Amino acid sequence: MKLLQEKFIKLKSRIYPWVRRFLNLSLYWKVGFIIGSCFFINLFIALYFYFLFYHVVNLQTKIPYNYELLTNKALTYLEKKNPSSNPYELKVNLEKILHELEGIKEKYPQISPQIEKIEKIVLQTPSYQYNPKTIKLLEKQFLELNKFFSNERDILENKIKKYKEISKYFQIILILTMLAFLIWGTWSFYYMVKKPLDSIVERLDFLTEEKEEAELKSLEACVLEYSAKDEIGKVINKVNEILTESNTIRLFKRTIENDESAEMVYERLGYYLQYMVGIDSFIIFEVSNSQNTMQAVYVSDPNLDYSSEIIVNPDKCRAKRTGQVVTSINIPNICKVFPFKTTKEHYCIPMMYGGKCIGVIGIYLPKEELLNESKFIEKKLKKAHAFIKETTPVIEAKRYAEALKEQTFRDALTGLYNRHFLEATLENLVAQILRRESILGILMCDLDYFKSINDKYGHDAGDIVLKETAKLLVSNVRKADLVVRFGGEEFLILLVDVKEGESVKVANKLRSIIETHEFRIPQGSVKRTISIGVSEFPIDTQAIWEAIKFADVALYKAKELGRNKVVRFKREFWTEENY
């Protein structure tokens, strides 16, 4: 058994390369081979049947029916005649039969002696000399001829019968052969054409259906398997390429739609362009909502440089200004501000949405690489376009959402966070403080005698003072700290991760800065002071809103003490049992 398996494996290893060569042939040759095989085999069978039919007909014509009948006729004449009968009539009838048997000696040389004997007796013996002995002799000769022709007829008829039996078997073989070729042709068409095309249609339907993320992540769900390298194989390879790219792009789009911010989307786009598409050098620029500035939000290579002109004046960027792809590959030196003109070419793709440019992707391509791999780079750029096309509306949506969020959480006058933002984020901030076991300093600030500015100089002047105060507060605390406009002229400052007692020092610094600052208004300049109440969480209380209330109580204590003061909350300031 093992020996048979080894032989089978060897036979398979010898046959398989030829099968593989056949499968890798062009579909034209494979279909032609199948049709040609059917044609030539059926032609061979048809020719064989024609030959068989021709042979049977030829044998049929060779059967000596007439000669056998003539000899039978002669024997009949001889049996009826006797010496008392008319011998002349017998002679005439026999001569007629001999006349009809003319040429038989050439056809059947073996019976020439019998024919010659009969001719000699009939032609040389006068009719009156026909005696019983002569008739007996003639009967003997004609009987031999009759037996000969009868044997010939039997032989030929047996041959014809044999050919007819063979033709029956060949009819069965013909039907089976035609059936086999029909099955083979159907099977070949199904596996070489129909099944692959059905699979292509099924996978193309995959593109039009909404899929869950788990299905999108499974590339096996859309990749077709087809080992032959014929035309169908080429089509399937192309479809697989399209499906894989489409699946990747759909998964990419689904992912960036769930990203939290536009910054995360830029990061993901940069990652895909660099590691999935294979573009090494590029910069993603974001155009501000006002269209007045640009900034680089993703740089693939720290060594890449760009012109500072387009940052302060985006219209210097031709791609941003025109909303069209700008490349030096086709038009050298088209960009006047491109910094790598001697070593690289650029390919700049604007991110257009609603007729407005929201960003530009500047791709830098080495000139040597363009010469050697132009088609490959063309494919890369095509993929990049696909990813950028899907990213653009998502980024615009994220930016719009962030702008709305900013409008909701920002004070329109000062640009500071408002109470809505404080209410939305305070819980998370407190959780971080407690987890780190640190201290949150709380400063409640109020400009002294602010109402007098509005009354004396007008609300425009009051707005200037508020905006200037906000700037002073923000610029003199850390970036990690939060400055919130809490009310009209009230500001709440949250100092993150401070040491115990440090909040008072920061408050005194801010009080001093405000006290010495001159606020420029249309009517001249004014000075104002600020009162600040200080509490610390969780030193003073475990409840954050209670801590804010304690800072507010300390602020009112500062006002009572004459304003322009910093007062640290003390327990005796609070007479209520609960907040």
- Residue 86, by phi and psi: left (phi above 0), alpha (psi -120 to 50) or beta? beta
- Residue 384's identity, in one-letter code, is A
**How is residue 334 written in tokens?**
């088209």
Determine the Cα–Cα distance for residues 287 and 322; give it in Å rounded to an integer: 14
- Residue 406's identity, in one-letter code, is E
Candidates 526, 539, 528; CA nearest to 568 is: 539
Burial class (CB in 10 A: 0-12, 13-18, 19+), 292: exposed
Angle in degrees, CA 364, 365, 370, rounded to 5: 165
Per-state percent for the chain, helix, strand, coil, to nearest 5: 65, 15, 25
Determine the Cα–Cα distance for residues 326 and 340; give it in Å rounded to an integer: 15
Catalytic residue among 231, 489, 490, 577: 489
Candidates 562, 536, 501, 555; CA nearest to 573 is: 555
Q: Are 305 and 333 in contact (CB under 8 A)?
A: no
Determine the Cα–Cα distance for residues 476 and 496; give it in Å rounded to an integer: 14
In order, the DSSP letters of 112-136 are HHHHHHHHHHHHHS-GGG--HHHHH
Determine the Cα–Cα distance for residues 140 and 150; give it in Å rounded to an integer: 15
489 assigned to active site = yes
Handedness of CA 102, 103, 108, 114 (dihedral sign): positive
Q: Are strands 482-485 and 519-521 parallel, antiparallel or unpaired?
A: unpaired
Determine the Cα–Cα distance for residues 302 and 385; give it in Å rounded to an integer: 23
Determine the Cα–Cα distance for residues 29 and 36; give it in Å rounded to an integer: 10
Q: Are strands 439-447 and 356-366 parallel, antiparallel or unpaired?
A: unpaired
Q: Are 492 and 548 in contact (CB under 8 A)?
A: yes
- Known catalytic residues are 489
